[in-house]
Chain A
Amino acid sequence: MTSGEQHASFEQGRITEGPQGQIRTAGGEQRNRVFGLPLHILLIAPTFLIVFGLLVYPLGYAIVLSFSNKILTGSVPFKWVGLENYLDLVEAKSEMWTSVGVTLRFAIVGVLLEFIIGLSLALLLNREFRGRTWLRVGLLVPLMVPPLASGLIWRIMYDDSFGIFPHLVRTVGANPPIFLGDPDWALYAVVATEVWRSSPFMVLVLLAALQAQPVETIEAAEVDGASGWQVFRLITLPFITPVIIVALLFRTVDALRTFDLIFLLTAGGPGTTTEVISMFIYRWGFRHFKLGFTSAASILLMIATLIICIFYLRMLVVRQAEVQLTQE
């Protein structure tokens, strides 16, 4: 092969953006086609076929069902009910609002605590000290535990007869509450488990962001006489803000989907004091078998999740725009 040919084929495979954003591969059509079909279509086809079949199609099905009175078993004849399910859900005395309240308290208290613990520990781990590596390894452990197993572990620790927590409370001389059975305590007992399980995620992600920060900028600020707090507030914090937003987004949507943990710890009880939205949907779908009603609730949850995602992503975009402005 001469060098000229080499150069030509080098050009062939290179993909350049065409005028309308289509691919133009100077003479390289051959390489990007298999059986006469564009290669990239063949490559993404299987993924999107099953995503379509098992996510998009069911979602459409759920929308259709949400306008019906479909139940799983029973003698009630199927009929279309229009918006009735949605109206039942959003009316003031609907149980959904209780569940929304529980979910919000669970998500906000949980994610906030995780963030505070996460940032403090990330700042701690960003310093040099003996045993730092071991502490990092220790943090990984709760992340590996299946949510279900962590529910079991905490349940045995909370148990009001032989659990370790009531025992510790008794040793200091106080009268322990029934952690998982007391309406005032149950939700926070669940939050504690969730914080234990998920705060390592915050720590590790924020630590990664802190360690990506160039040392020079901090040193320069210190030379200019900035205090530790000033360095953190004016240099470190803005630098890690995008990562903070991403981490909060992940934790928030995960808090919204929490099911296993609550299923195991309290199953939504006592009463409905820990019935997060996933438990609410589970109960109406698989205890009362009201599938039409449940589908409507699912669709509302989907819309709420989308709104939360958009909220965080806009924060991210606004933030990026600000950075660009200050750089100009």
Chain B
Amino acid sequence: MRTKNLKRIRNVAMFFVVAAVWVFYFFPIYWMVSSSFKTRVDTFAIPPKWIFWPTIQFYISSFTNPKFLKVIQNSLIITGTTVVFSLVLGAWAAYAFARFRFKGSLTLSFSLIVARMMPPIVFIVPLYLLFNSLKLRNTHVGLILIFTVFNLPFTVWMLKSFFEEVPIELEEAAWIDGASRLQALGRVILPLIAPGLAATAVFAALLAWNEFLFALLLGGPDTTTLPVFLSGFLGERDVEWGDIMATATVAVLPPTLLVMLVQQNLIKGLTLGAVKG
């Protein structure tokens, strides 16, 4: 009888702990989404309103705003191209590091980790001057290049860990059948690590989609991405929170959906392949 009670108390305690954790992590998201459906009056209501009549006026005004559509287009083009470049270049380098031992291979691969650890702000002044003199500021190409560079350390290390999991014998079998190294890579290895490639792509996309510092300082009016657009709201005289929260919700949606798809390789992605999930 007593043990039964004890168990019940433990269950109830557990319930409250789990509920508290949920509230802590989920409430801000809920608040963002609900604020995007509140009218101006409801947003500024004191005390804050829990129950309100939802409005989609801010989504309508966002999606009919040509500026906003251009921003989405910029974000999609820049993120998409960055992902392709980082994956292709990253896969080549990762394959070389995984399958060849050559002079300096360790130094080179570890120098990429050092690059990953550096705060991006360290590079901002020289890059700003460099981009100015090369006329790369305020161009899609410029942002794609810089996002790719900051993605590469991560894609190389993550893909390297996936390549290393493929037994070399599979490749050797393809060589026996007359395939060259690159043919074997393309037709045998890459299909095998497809889930890994997908996970790497998602993380590369996340980095490019969310990047702010370079997009702000090396970009310009022609390349405004979603984060830069979002930050611009606050400079306005009359801050329209409904607009901001609707835009933020739109910005959060694609990464959330993508990451749900690659949950299996999530931990690897978070730690450059250092920790397996």
* A residues lining the B interface (CB < 8 Å): 1, 6, 9-10, 12-15, 17, 21-23, 31-32, 34, 38-44, 46-48, 50-51, 54-55, 57-59, 61-62, 65, 121, 124, 129, 131, 135, 137-150, 152-154, 156-157, 161-164, 167, 171, 196, 200-201, 204-205, 208-209, 212, 243, 246-247, 249-250, 253, 256-257, 259-260, 263-264, 277-278, 281-282, 285-286, 291, 294-295, 298-299, 301-302, 305-306, 309
* B residues lining the A interface (CB < 8 Å): 14, 17-18, 21-22, 24-26, 28-29, 31-32, 35, 43-48, 89-90, 92-93, 95-97, 99-103, 105, 108, 112, 114-115, 117-130, 145-146, 148-149, 152, 156, 168, 171-172, 175-176, 180-182, 206, 209-210, 212-213, 217, 226-227, 230-231, 234, 241, 244-245, 248, 251-252, 255-256, 259-260, 263, 266-267, 270-271, 274-277
A246 touches B271 (CB 8 A): yes
- Distance of B49 from chain A, by nearest CB (Å): 10
- Distance of B83 from chain A, by nearest CB (Å): 15
Closest to A66 in B: B125
A44 touches B148 (CB 8 A): no
Query: Given known contacts A148-B210, A285-B124, is B149 in contact with A167 (CB within 8 Å)?
Result: no
CA distance A314 to B81 in the complex (A): 38
A196 touches B252 (CB 8 A): no
CA distance A17 to B227 in the complex (A): 48
Closest to B17 in A: A124
Closest to A17 in B: B101
Of A14, A156, A161, A253, most buried by chain B (CB within 10 Å of CB) is A156
- Distance of A314 from chain B, by nearest CB (Å): 14
B28 touches A142 (CB 8 A): yes
- Distance of B176 from chain A, by nearest CB (Å): 5
Of A40, A142, A278, most buried by chain B (CB within 10 Å of CB) is A40
B126 touches A65 (CB 8 A): yes
B146 touches A44 (CB 8 A): no
- Distance of A289 from chain B, by nearest CB (Å): 10
Query: Given known contacts A129-B18, A298-B125, is B149 in contact with A286 (CB within 8 Å)?
Result: no
**Residues of chain A with a CB closer than 8 A to B45's CB:** 162
Query: Given known contacts A145-B29, A204-B266, is B127 in contact with A58 (CB within 8 Å)?
Result: yes
- Distance of A190 from chain B, by nearest CB (Å): 14
- Distance of A88 from chain B, by nearest CB (Å): 16
A-B contact pairs, 6 of them (CB 8 A): A46-B89, A140-B266, A201-B270, A205-B270, A208-B277, A253-B119
B18 touches A14 (CB 8 A): no
CA distance A204 to B213 in the complex (A): 27
CA distance A253 to B153 in the complex (A): 15
B31 touches A257 (CB 8 A): no
**Residues of chain A with a CB closer than 8 A to B148's CB:** 50
Query: Given known contacts A47-B89, A47-B152, is B25 in contact with A139 (CB within 8 Å)?
Result: yes
B255 touches A285 (CB 8 A): no
B271 touches A62 (CB 8 A): no
CA distance A54 to B209 in the complex (A): 20
Partner pick for B97 among A44, A135, A146, A164, CB 8 A cutoff: A44
- Distance of A155 from chain B, by nearest CB (Å): 8
CA distance A202 to B175 in the complex (A): 43
CA distance A209 to B274 in the complex (A): 11
**Residues of chain A with a CB closer than 8 A to B256's CB:** 140-141, 144
Of A14, A39, A149, A263, most buried by chain B (CB within 10 Å of CB) is A149
